[in-house]
Structure 1
Amino acid sequence: MSKKIAVIDGNSLMHRAYHAVPPTMNAPDGRPTNAVFGFLSMLLKFIDIAAPDALICAFDAGRPAFRMEALEQYKAQRPPMDDDLKVQFPIIEELLEAMGVPVVRIKGWEGDDVLGTIAARDEALGYETLLVTGDKDAYQLATDKTRIVTTKKGITDVAIYGPAEVLDRYGISPEQVPDYLGLKGDSSDNIPGVPGIGEKTAAKLLQAYGSLEGLYEHVDELKGKQKERIVENKDAAFASREVATIVRDLDFPLDLESCSFPNFDPETVTAAFEGVRFNAHLNRVLKLVGKELEKKAAPLVVEPVLFAAEADALVTAALERGETLGVSFVEPKQASLFSAGLHCAVNTSEGTALYEDEAGLEAFARVVREGAFASLDVKLDVHRVYPPDTAKRALVSDGDLSSMRAFDLGLAGYVLNSSVAEYSYDALLDAYCGGV
Structure 2
Amino acid sequence: MSKIIIIDGNSLLFRSYYATFNPDSSKLMRNHDGVPTNALFAFSNMIASLLKDLKKGDGIFVAFDAGKHTFRHKEFAEYKANRPPCPNDLLIQMPIVREFLKSLNIKYYENENIEADDIAGNIAKKAENDGYNVEIYTSDKDYLQLIDDKITIKLIKKGLKDIKDMTPISFINEWGFNPIQIVDYKGLMGDPSDNLKGIPKVGDKTAKKLILEYGSLENIIKNAPNFNSKVGESIIEHQKNGLLCKHLAFIKTDDDLPIKISDIIYHGFDFNNINDFSHKYDLKTLVNKLPLTLRQTKHTDNKISFKEINSDEISKLEIQNEIGISIDVDDDNYHNANLLGIILTINNDNFYINNKEIYNDNILQALKNKNIYKYCFDFKKIMYVLNKNNIEINGLYFDLLLASYLLNSSLSPNIESV
- TM-score band, normalised by the shorter chain? 0.5 to 0.7
SS of the residue 1:130 aligns to: strand
Change in CA separation of 1:291 and 1:277 when aligned onto 2, cut-off 3 Å: farther
Displacement of 1:106 in angstroms is 1.6
Q: CA deviation at 1:430?
A: 8.6
Equivalent of 1:235 in 240, 253, 276: 240
- Structure 1 counterpart of 2:63, which letter? A
CA contact (8 A) 1:266 1:286 kept: no
Please name the residue that 1:20 is paired with.
Answer: 19
Contact 1:41 1:155 in 2 (8 A): no
- Structure 1 spans left out of the alignment, 5+ residues: 293-428
2:2 corresponds in structure 1 to 3
Hey, what does 2:278 align to over in structure 1? 273
Q: d(CA) in 2 for partners of 1:96 and 1:17?
A: 15
**Residues 225 and 233, structure 2, Cα contact 8 Å, conserved in 1:** no
2:82 to 77, 82, 87: 77
Q: Which moved more, 1:163-172 or 1:182-191?
A: 163-172
Give the aligned length: 298
Contact 1:70 1:242 survives alignment (8 Å): no
- Kindly state the Cα deviation for residue 431 of structure 1 after the two structures are TM-superposed: 5.0
Go from structure 1 to structure 2 and tell me whether the alpha carbon gap of 1:190 and 1:248 turns closer, same or farther (over 3 Å shift).
same
Q: 1:106 to 1:432 in 2, by over 3 A?
A: closer
**Which amino acid in the other structure matches residue 277 of structure 2?**
A
Task: Tell whether the 8 Å contact from 2:268 to 2:296 is kept in structure 1 after alignment.
Answer: no
Contact 2:107 2:263 in 1 (8 A): no
Match of 2:40 among 21, 36, 40: 36
Q: CA deviation at 1:198?
A: 2.2
Does 1:114 find its partner at 2:119? yes
Q: Counterpart of 2:65 in 1: which secondary structure?
A: coil
**Normalising to structure 1: TM-score of the pair?**
0.64
Per-residue deviation, 1:62: 2.0
- Contact residue 20 and residue 155 of structure 1 kept, 8 A: yes
The structural deviation recorded for 1:237 is 0.2
Q: Which position in structure 2 is the counterpart of 1:105?
A: 110
Q: Give 1:331's aligned residue.
A: none
Rounded Cα–Cα distance in structure 1 between residues aligned with 2:148 and 2:223: 29
1:345-356 alignment to 2 at 5 Å? none
Aligned amino acid, residue 44 of structure 1: A
Deviation at 1:119, TM superposition (A): 1.0
Q: Which residue of 2 aligns with 1:172?
A: 177
**Alignment partners' CA distance in 1, 2:284 and 2:68:** 36
Task: Give, in angstroms, the shift of residue 142 of structure 1.
Answer: 0.8
Secondary structure at 1:88's aligned position in 2?
A: helix
- CA–CA distance in 2 between the matches of 1:43 and 1:55? 10
Q: Name the % identity.
A: 34
Cα deviation digits, residues 216-237 of structure 1 (max 9, x gap): 2211331321111111110000
Q: Are the counterparts in 1 of residues 172 and 178 from structure 2 also a CA contact under 8 Å?
A: yes
Structure 2: give runs of 5+ residues left out of the alignment.
23-27, 298-407
Shift of 1:269: 1.2
Describe how 1:217-232 pairs up with structure 2 within 5 A: 217-232=222-237
Q: CA RMSD in A?
A: 2.3
* C-alpha distance in 2 between matches for 1:261 and 1:250: 23
**1:301 paired residue number:** none
Q: Which residue of 2 aligns with 1:306?
A: none
Distance 2:46 2:161 in 1: 5
Report the Cα offset of residue 43 of structure 1. 2.5
Structure 1 residue 62 corresponds to structure 2 residue 67: yes
Q: Contact 1:41–1:156 (CA<8 Å) still a contact in 2?
A: no
